[in-house]
Amino acid sequence: MFGNIGIIDRVLRGLAGIGMGVYAFMFQSPIFAVLSFLIISMASFKWCPLYHIFGINTDSCNTALSNKKSVLEGFIVSLLLYLFILITYLLYRYYSIVEQPLNLTI
């Protein structure tokens, strides 16, 4: 399976996926969480099923050796992006709990 997504497309998809992931965690939206997972996965593995169906290819480097490397790189990038989203969510939850004023009314 050859990649069909170029570098600019990957960066834009990665940023959109991170944005959707942060939104999904902050507002607890499962639809955006699934979309974020799909978009980040496509950006990480350099392959889009819709591009494949319509015959679109924005990747300039399309060799078998680069695709073997891209699978490992995609997996590592995917893990790092999900780790970033998880840390962002945990920091958001921590600071939203810590900064709430105490209700000491009697």
Question: What pLDDT score was predicted for residue 99?
Answer: 58
CB 24 within 8 A of CB 33: yes
**C-alpha span between 57 and 44 (Å, rounded):** 16
Q: Which residue has the tokens 């978009």?
A: 39
What pLDDT digit, counting tens, does each position of 36-71 carry? 888 988 888 888 888 888 888 888 765 544 555 666
Query: How sure is the predictor about 104, in pLDDT bands with cuts at 50, 70 and 90?
Result: low
Length of the chain: 106
pTM confidence score: 0.59
Domain parsing of the chain, residue ranges: 7-98
CA distances in angstroms from 14 to 11, 47, 52, 54, 81, listed in the order given: 5, 13, 19, 22, 8
The mean pLDDT of the chain is 77
pLDDT at 82: 76
